[in-house]
Amino acid sequence: MTTATATPVVYDPYSYAIHEDPYPTYTRLREEAPVYHNAERGFWALSRHADVMAAFRDSERFSSAEGVSIDPAASGPNAHRTMSFLAMDPPQHGRMRGLVSRGFTPRRVAEMEDRIRALTIEHLEPALDGASFDFVADLAGKVPMDVISEMLDVPRADRAELRRLSDLLVHREEGITDVPPSGVEAALALVVYYADLIADRRANPGDDLVSALCAAEIDGDRLSDDEITSFLFLMVVAGNETTTKLLAHAWYWAWRNPDERAKVFGDLTRIPDWVEETLRYDTSSQLLARVTTCDVTLHEVTIPAGDRVVLLAGSANRDPRAFTNPDVFNLDANRDAGIASFGMGRHFCMGASLARLESRVVLEELVRRVAHYDIDEAGASRVHSVNVRGFATLPTTVAVR
């Protein structure tokens, strides 16, 4: 008598089913295939917390030089043109990050809190005037783009279009396994816009981030226009998309977990815990790609040199080897093992402090004004992207205080 063989686990980051809920697949990957190979798509995947965090730290064996995406058109030796220092190894990475950081200091970020709060209130009050609104379109999608736009001194009239273009860069129709024509057109439009913006700031410098990048210098070394453009791509896409998704996930998972929601609605000081647990439980950046520089053997499986490897941050954050009851949304959870949401090592996300600040401020202003809220889950929809997970729409009904 023979027994049936279990169906091997299949992980495809382009699958709409994965976009809707990747976590059951992540569980199987961690247990059955911690070094997973997708021959059809041409990548390997690491899913356990210890392996993902170690690979983030190991830039010698896991190179970033070909970018963080597995989209063919967005990866390879020219990936740095749209991903800036995310697609660089030392020494280029250290040079670029060092110059860029001159215009992105902790002081510059901290000084933005009052302005972030004003922008939040500006969008929140009209949204709350009605009984219902779309949390993404009316609030979570607007504040991060406005914050970045103010840092760059982008005119208000241009901001909605920049957000539309950045959305097109990450959206994937089902069955499409590369950057679509609409995404390519959006990228070209952004290049033209940034070129004009940089030329203006070189001629008329101000107190904005673009002017700071134009003036940044270390021992006579300065950024070229192309290098500034690549960083602006990174700012508008990564800085806008991920924070938008973080805010909507926080709102959604608190709604799904009323006991946890009660903790923050009764105590504003718990909002940072709300942000951190959201980052762990359902992070915006689900995966980041690397390329091996040599043969790498893990769990008795050898990944050949030159192969693409995806580091599944979303899976690492749900690994029971690192977190207790990781599939439970719990503001009091012990996260001392470290979340993978912002990466680790030399590529730790430069915008992490800004994302946390924006999220805290927006959620504070919501809790101050909203007594109770409900979400129309049937009307909610998710974005379809290889790297980013989050809501495209999140219809919300509120009762104000």
CB 395, CB 134: distance < 8 Å: yes
The predicted structure's pLDDT at residue 173: 63
Q: Quick one: how far is CA 373 from the chain centroid?
A: 26
The predicted structure's pLDDT at residue 108: 78
The predicted structure's pLDDT at residue 253: 98
Among the listed residues 361, 294, 337, 313, the one whose alpha carbon sits nearest the alpha carbon of residue 56:
313
Does domain 16-400 fall under CATH 3.40.50.300? My reply is no
pTM: 0.91
The predicted structure's pLDDT at residue 140: 95
The predicted structure's pLDDT at residue 2: 45
Question: What ranges in 4-155 are assigned the alpha helix state H?
Answer: 16-20, 23-32, 49-57, 80-83, 92-101, 106-110, 113-129, 135, 143-152
Spatial distance between the Cα atoms of 234 and 398, rounded to a whole number of angstroms = 34
Q: What ranges do the domains of the chain cover?
A: 16-400
Return all residues near 219 (Cβ < 8 A) that are at least 6 apart: none
Helix (H, G, I), strand (E, B) or coil at 303: strand
The predicted structure's pLDDT at residue 170: 66
To 10 degrees, what angle do helices 352-369 and 240-256 make?
40
The predicted structure's pLDDT at residue 248: 98
The predicted structure's pLDDT at residue 95: 84
Helix (H, G, I), strand (E, B) or coil at 94: helix
Question: What ranges in 296-351 are assigned the alpha helix state H?
Answer: 313-316
Spatial distance between the Cα atoms of 244 and 284, rounded to a whole number of angstroms = 9
Total residue count of the chain as it appears in this document = 401
Spatial distance between the Cα atoms of 53 and 316, rounded to a whole number of angstroms = 8
CB atoms under 10 Å from CB of 306, counted, come to 12
Spatial distance between the Cα atoms of 286 and 207, rounded to a whole number of angstroms = 34
The predicted structure's pLDDT at residue 384: 85
Supply φ then ψ for residue 108, to 5 degrees: -60, -40
Splitting the chain (401 residues) into consecutive groups of 10 residues, what average pLDDT does each group show? 70 94 98 97 97 96 90 74 78 82 75 94 94 94 89 88 79 63 83 92 91 84 88 79 94 98 96 98 95 98 97 98 98 97 88 92 97 97 89 96 88
